Amino acid sequence: MINVKVDGRLKSQRFRQEREADWKRLERLMEKVEKGSMASLSEEEILAAPVLYRSALSSLSVARATSLDRGMIDYLEMLCARAYFFVYGSRETLRSQLGAFFAGGWPAAVRGLWRETLVSVGLMVIGALVGAWLFGQDAEWYYAFMPREMTGGRDPAATTEMLRSTLDGAKSGSGLSMFATFLFTHNAQVALLAFALGFALCVPTAMLVTYNGVMLGVFFALFASRGLGVEAGGWLAIHGVTEIFAVCLAGAAGLKIGWTVAFPGERSRLDAAAAAGRHAATVMGGVVVMLFFAGLLEGFGRQLIVWTPARYGVAALTALIWGLYFYAPRRRASA
Amino acid sequence: MSEASTLKLTRAFVTPEGVDLRLQLADASQRAGAFLVDAAIMVGVLIVASILIGLIGVGALAAAGLKGAEVIAVLWLLGFFLLRNFYFVGFELSAAAATPGKRAMGIRVAARDGGRLRPGAIFARNAMRELEIFIPISMLFAPAGVEGGGVEGWMYLLGITWAGVFVLFPLFNKDRLRAGDLIGGTWVVRAPKRKLMRDMADEGAERLRRYAFTQEQIDAYGAKELHVLEDVLRERDRKTMRAVADRIAGKVGWTRLAEEDDYDFLSAYYAALRKRLEARLLMGVRRRDKHDTAR
């Protein structure tokens, strides 16, 4: 097809005409990829894409050096950039990414945050102790920390009998799934907030985690003061082991970011923040999953399992499962 | 966009093959436009879905009692949660790495270090939206408290300041990074779908045979003038072409005949000039404009 004999055409014109078909093919491929997914490409097309990309890239270098056809250079720059993102972009399917996340990525990220996790748990414990101590001083503190809509009648003014009744499960099964969903979405939102607030140099995240600890402390102290400590512990622990640990991890992720932004160390602040962000976000992805389980345990488990030893049993089991999953030593290959 | 601001947002981006792709960052207006489109889509979906679910809920309540209504409420809660937290993440995880709003603006997310755009990075950049958008919004639209109007006013002011800091954040750094981009290690670049424009030399080369420009006549201009001429030819506006043709003919000393078509003349001159400049480019001489005396 190509007329090789010297004619009136410019060199750059011939250059373009000889390669245009390949560029158009690459462009069509990219359009297909961006519209659908990898799966929409045939095997032949997947193999062709990198080859076409490299030839377009070489066309671009040649064109920049020898051609003044601005339309062509602009077009090639955009085409090469689009193809670059495809060729060097993620080729894994969502499923294999999720697989890698649960198999090793998430526990490894959690283990990497052990220092922040300890700090976060420490803050929570301090908060709880302070809350309990304050309640011991004056029961009025209860109202200062617990939002009224959350207490649901569980406050110092209630009788011991009323308090005991709130620890029982629901009489019927209706409304549980909605309750579980509400708890999950609400808690996940708070956890995400704790993570995002870390950006402001840790302080708001630390405050949020401590505040959660204080609420826990006053709540428990209220029940303990009426001799209901063991029952309230079971009521909290059945889902709390998962939920409180998830909140601590979210706090740890936020602390990691804030700390890195404040003290980037050897690397530049931007690079360090980006690395910390990716690490912390991996933990956060998992925290949402944990909170989902916590929501199920809280919404269903707690309402249906009312016998206190059974509640403690479930709590111990979840603690064991999470502990082994995150911190048990594994072979190098999976780490 | 002016040339200076384009240059300001152009970043060297060298591929492993050693070619600089000269990526262009999305400017503030494109980012804002994309966000507004996405926000409109989210609000639209929320309203339509709420109405639909509300209607179905009434039906379910009538048919299956409380149990039916509960399922619907669960659906709504989960749907709202997913929309709020995973609208951006979901779309940016796709091959296009852009939400519908970003796609409409011809921009996409890319990793700042040129590597793969990891799910963790996308999750991190969008989790920060919680701080940047949703918190200020829920602060502003929170139901006013019963007691103490003064505190409410201060909260309102705080919310606006907070939102202002984060909304204007991209304007105060040269890479137009949002707080989320900072944490995610990403930036937003322009990647519009661009069609290959017609080569203006295609017509010029044919017409060139009818015009015999001398070497001096062709050497009057440089690359910058060539591109201006290219734009004139693309637009093909009669008046502009006449003015430009007269100007060039005057400068190079070409006597124009009465029946000569402006477009023919200009396109022939374009081809001649490009041929000459490209021939010199091949020898390593790039003549930027008519004042450039590079030999």
Could you tell me if A87 and A129 lie in one domain? no
Are the beta carbons of A57 and B95 separated by less than 8 Å?
Answer: no
Cα–Cα dist B17/A53, whole Å: 11
Cα–Cα dist B36/B160, whole Å: 18
Categorize the per-residue pLDDT at B212 as very low, low, confident or very high, splitting at 50, 70 and 90.
confident
Checking if the pLDDT of B41 tops 90, the result is: yes
Write down which residue in B190, B218, B242 finishes a domain: B190
Query: Do the domain assignments include residue B157?
Result: no
Left, alpha or beta for A152 (phi > 0: left; psi -120 to 50: alpha)?
left
| A290 within 8 A of A249, measured Cβ to Cβ | yes
Q: Which of A168-172, B230-234, B283-287 has the highest mean pLDDT?
A: B230-234
Domain interval for residue B232: 201-282
Cα–Cα dist A294/A185, whole Å: 11
Are the beta carbons of B192 and A78 separated by less than 8 Å?
Answer: yes
Per-chain mean pLDDT for chain A: 81
Categorize the per-residue pLDDT at B2 as very low, low, confident or very high, splitting at 50, 70 and 90.
low
Write down which residue in A34, A66, A91 finishes a domain: A91
B22: nearest CA in chain A?
A77
Identify all chain A residues contacting B97, using CB atoms and an 8 Å cutoff: 85, 89
Could you tell me if A85 and A114 lie in one domain? no
Could you tell me if B247 and B115 lie in one domain? no
Query: Do the domain assignments include residue A80?
Result: yes
Could you tell me if A67 and A214 lie in one domain? no
Counting Cβ atoms within 10 Å, is residue B181 exposed (0-12), middle (13-18) or buried (19+)?
A: buried
Could you tell me if B113 and B236 lie in one domain? no
Q: Please give the structure tokens belonging to residue B85.
A: 């937290």
Could you tell me if A162 and A261 lie in one domain? yes
Mutate to test the interface with A, among B176, B199, B276 (most CBs of A within 10 A): B199
Rounded average pLDDT over B14-39 = 88
A50: nearest CA in chain B?
B17
Domain interval for residue A76: 11-91
Could you tell me if A63 and A182 lie in one domain? no
Counting Cβ atoms within 10 Å, is residue B24 exposed (0-12), middle (13-18) or buried (19+)?
A: buried
The 10s digit of each residue's pLDDT in A100-125 is 888 878 888 888 888 888 999 999 89
pLDDT at A56 (0 to 100):
92
Could you tell me if B259 and B176 lie in one domain? no
Cα–Cα dist B233/A129, whole Å: 79
CA max distance for chain A: 102
Identify all chain B residues contacting A39, using CB atoms and an 8 Å cutoff: none
pLDDT at B141 (0 to 100):
67
Q: Which of B77, B135, B183 is facing A181, going by the closest CB pair? A: B77
Could you tell me if B72 and B182 lie in one domain? yes
Cα–Cα dist A225/B135, whole Å: 37
Q: Which of A13, A31, A280 is facing B199, going by the closest CB pair? A: A13
Cα–Cα dist A109/A284, whole Å: 10
Rounded average pLDDT over A229-253 = 85
Query: Do the domain assignments include residue B220?
Result: yes
Categorize the per-residue pLDDT at B277 as very low, low, confident or very high, splitting at 50, 70 and 90.
confident
Query: Do the domain assignments include residue B67?
Result: yes
* Number of structural domains in chain A: 2
Checking if the pLDDT of B195 tops 90, the result is: no
Could you tell me if A182 and A144 lie in one domain? yes
Identify all chain A residues contacting B93, using CB atoms and an 8 Å cutoff: 94
Rounded average pLDDT over B115-140 = 80
Q: Please give the structure tokens belonging to residue B13.
A: 């981006």
Q: Which residue has the higher pLDDT, B255 or B228?
A: B228
Could you tell me if B82 and B216 lie in one domain? no
How many other CB atoms are found less than 10 A from the CB of residue B211? 17
Percent of chain B with pLDDT over 90: 6
Could you tell me if A81 and A145 lie in one domain? no
Query: Do the domain assignments include residue B251?
Result: yes
Percent of chain B with pLDDT over 70: 92
Could you tell me if B220 and B186 lie in one domain? no
Cα–Cα dist A280/A116, whole Å: 11
Identify all chain A residues contacting B77, using CB atoms and an 8 Å cutoff: 178, 181-182, 185
Write down which residue in A91, A113, A148 finishes a domain: A91
Calculate ∠ Cα A238-A241-A243, nearest 5°.
Answer: 100
Could you tell me if A20 and A168 lie in one domain? no
Identify all chain A residues contacting B281, using CB atoms and an 8 Å cutoff: 65-68
Write down which residue in A50, A69, A91 finishes a domain: A91
Q: Which residue has the higher pLDDT, A127 or B150?
A: A127
Rounded average pLDDT over A297-310 = 79
Among the listed residues A227, A34, A236, A216, the one whose alpha carbon sits nearest the alpha carbon of residue A134: A216
Identify all chain B residues contacting A208, using CB atoms and an 8 Å cutoff: none
Could you tell me if B211 and B121 lie in one domain? no
Could you tell me if A54 and A183 lie in one domain? no
Could you tell me if B40 and B181 lie in one domain? yes
Amino acid at B115: G
Q: Which of B17, B192, B274 is facing A10, going by the closest CB pair? A: B274
For helices A43-66 and A70-87, what crossing angle results, to 10°? 140
Rounded average pLDDT over A187-197 = 82
Are the beta carbons of A78 and B226 separated by less than 8 Å?
Answer: no
Give A249→chain B minimum CA distance, Å.
Answer: 15
Could you tell me if B227 and B256 lie in one domain? yes
- What does each C-alpha distance from B56 to A89, B44, B149 come to in angstroms? 42, 18, 40
Query: Do the domain assignments include residue A219?
Result: yes
Rounded average pLDDT over A17-39 = 83
What's the CA dihedral at A43, A46, A49, A51 to 10 degrees?
A: -70
Are the beta carbons of B205 and A281 separated by less than 8 Å?
Answer: no
pLDDT at B1 (0 to 100):
45
Q: Which of A121-130, A163-172, B171-180, B244-253 has the highest mean pLDDT?
A: A121-130
Could you tell me if A280 and A185 lie in one domain? yes
Categorize the per-residue pLDDT at B265 as very low, low, confident or very high, splitting at 50, 70 and 90.
confident
* Radius of gyration of the CA atoms of chain A, in A: 29
Give the ipTM of the model, two decimals please. Answer: 0.80
Could you tell me if A43 and A129 lie in one domain? no
Identify all chain B residues contacting A199, using CB atoms and an 8 Å cutoff: 128, 131, 179, 183
| B196 within 8 A of B266, measured Cβ to Cβ | no
